[in-house]
Structure 1
Amino acid sequence: MNRREIMSLASLGTAGALMAPVCAYAATPTAKARTGDPAGRFVAAKDGTSLFLRDWGSGKPLLFLSGWALPSDFWGYQMLALAQKGYRAIAYDRRGHGRSADPGHGFDHDTLADDLAAIIDALKLEDLTIVAHSMGGTEVARYFARHGGRGVSRTILVGSITPFLAKTPDNPAGIDPATLAAGASLLVRDFPAWIAANTVPFFTPETSPAMIAWGQDMMMSTSLLAAATLAQANFLTDFRADVRRIHVPTLLVHGDRDASAPLALTAQATAGLLPNAALNVYEGAPHGLPLTHVERLNADILAFVTKA
């Protein structure tokens, strides 16, 4: 693994996606919409933080969680496809991301798991499939550990960074934490330059320049405090115990050229901790496969939900 690939471990995602109207939803009384945003598109977290929500279609629900420094727009191509097939496709912007509020705190996995619980409870979701990309997998794992997986029947982890990235005596295949320090220095000094330096490994050579630029713009909508804090937390947190708490059928989808989350360190290790998991490896796929392998991923999600 070269230096550029290792540095991209801290990025854990990049993308853009299709925008579409959000279905009407009555927000909880404490959720405040920002100026210019129609009412009913926010849910209040436990601490009152407003979380932007998009909710398309009707039927059996799927909840999409984006990766680090990515808004809910990232999942547009999957959400549209599933909504057109008669499913309810839901996604929200993590605190400090996209259109959600930036409270200046709560950028830890316990709080993020509680935010996920707030969404599930506010929408009264049951028999739910969670589809999570990259860092989203850590939120799923912590949600099961902290909330018992309430309401969730299936999970799909795409390019997951679980279970543990850092090199330690009991995780010798991990990445040296000193690598994080090198990448973090540029991130906090020049976030746009850091994004530009770590973009290429997330896409394929066939990805259009417009799509790549869109992905970079999406990442720039993230609070720098959220980006810096979560990059460190994602890298250093051991999620192995959390992953073992995922007790529902799980599909892992991963590219064998994922420079941000090397296959053996992440998806293969995660599958080994789960009692009911299947692993689909996409040959030649990078970390951003929800954009580079749209049709294949959409078909796999649909097949998994239908089978379940």
Structure 2
Amino acid sequence: MPTVVTNDNVTLNYIDEGAGPVIVLIAGFCAPATTWVMQQDALVKAGYRVLALDRRGHGDSESPEHGATMARHGQDVENILASLGVDDAVLCGGSMGASTIWSYVSQFGTGRVKAVVSVDQTPKMINDAEWSNGFFGLTDSNKDTFFADGVPDTGKGLPKWKSALPILKLVAKLRAMPKMVSPDTPPMKALLHDHAVADWREVVATVDVPVLMVAGRESQFWPCTHAADSIAGNPLGRSVVLENCGHASNMDRPMEFNAALLDFLGSLPQ
């Protein structure tokens, strides 16, 4: 894998395949860039250049003790885009990868961004009287302890046995298990907490490039209504809900997800 060194001296790995308009794929908590393989192939075939990133602490990138914040992960995206000379990218993030994009946009704007795709990630994980699209059971009163033992089983959404099938498909495609990292290290626990308490709703509502919010109808983490609700006031936003689909939308329903993604990409100004 090629690498980029960030401005705080952390080496990040990425996949670079294909030629054409650039789409940057950013995976979620604990997941490596290789989990996008079913999108990578479809995108390259459709004429796109795919950059799939291993965030710090993920995949084959370095895992420093420092920088375990959403702000720093957003800065890493800027470092990578600047280093590679990318200035017209579609940024596509799954789960925490989507929040990484909103962190980047909040700090650096959209000068290098053509559009954004968020894959089953609510912009606010804490539920309150005004927002019911957060992580099931997460409130301001329990936010400091809710994820102390990792991501809890909510008992909602797609059942576990159905969730295992996409992993088997992924393993068959990669001919290996994807390199998932442990959520139990101090940096990863800190990162998860920082992710959980963030609120990106204003960033999503005011971003000045086209946005596609994808949701799984049977997400195990939050209501699928987060997708439409978060872009309700943004004329550049659109949403899609994938049926019979859990949180890992790009793996649960790869054909349907790829069709929605390619349709959105095809709608963008050339």
- Please indicate the TM-score interval, normalised by the length of the shorter structure: 0.7 to 0.9
- 1:39-50 alignment, distance < 5 Å: 41-50=2-11
Larger RCO of the pair (alpha carbons < 8 Å, separation 6+): 1
CA distance in 2 between counterparts of 1:75 and 1:217 reads: 10
Query: Match of 2:162?
Result: 204
2:230 to 240, 255, 270: 270
CA distance in 1 between counterparts of 2:189 and 2:54 reads: 17
Query: Match of 1:233?
Result: 194
1:184 equivalenced with 2:147 (yes/no): yes
Query: Match of 1:167?
Result: 127
Query: Match of 1:35?
Result: none
Deviation at 1:202, TM superposition (A): 7.0
**Unpaired segments ≥5 residues, structure 1:** 1-21, 23-40
Closer, same or farther: CA 226–75 of 1 in aligned 2, 3 Å? farther
Deviation at 1:254, TM superposition (A): 0.8
Query: Match of 2:252?
Result: 292
Q: Which amino acid aligns with 2:162?
A: T
CA distance in 1 between counterparts of 2:69 and 2:254 reads: 30
CA distance in 1 between counterparts of 2:201 and 2:187 reads: 23
Q: 1:139-173 CA distances to partner (integer Å, 9 max, x unpaired)?
A: 211222110122111111111231x1113455466
Q: Which amino acid aligns with 1:210?
A: L
Comparing 220-229 with 282-291, which one deviates more in the overlay? 220-229
Q: Secondary structure at the match of 2:223?
A: coil
Determine if contact 2:133/2:223 at 8 Å carries over to the other structure.
no
Closer, same or farther: CA 306–279 of 1 in aligned 2, 3 Å? same
1:137 equivalenced with 2:98 (yes/no): yes
Q: Which amino acid aligns with 1:233?
A: D
Task: Tell me the C-alpha RMSD between the 2 structures.
Answer: 3.0
Comparing 73-82 with 268-277, which one deviates more in the overlay? 268-277
**Unpaired segments ≥5 residues, structure 2:** none
1:304 to 234, 256, 264: 264
Q: Which amino acid aligns with 1:283?
A: E
Q: Secondary structure at the match of 1:55?
A: strand
Closer, same or farther: CA 141–133 of 1 in aligned 2, 3 Å? same
- 1:23-42 alignment, distance < 5 Å: 41-42=2-3
1:102 to 63, 87, 91: 63
Deviation at 1:209, TM superposition (A): 6.8
Q: Secondary structure at the match of 1:105?
A: coil
CA distance in 1 between counterparts of 2:112 and 2:61 reads: 23
Determine if contact 2:214/2:239 at 8 Å carries over to the other structure.
yes
CA distance in 2 between counterparts of 1:241 and 1:208 reads: 33
Closer, same or farther: CA 202–91 of 1 in aligned 2, 3 Å? farther
Q: Which amino acid aligns with 2:181?
A: M
Q: Secondary structure at the match of 1:280?
A: strand
The alignment's TM-score, normalised by the length of structure 2, stands at 0.85
Determine if contact 2:158/2:218 at 8 Å carries over to the other structure.
no
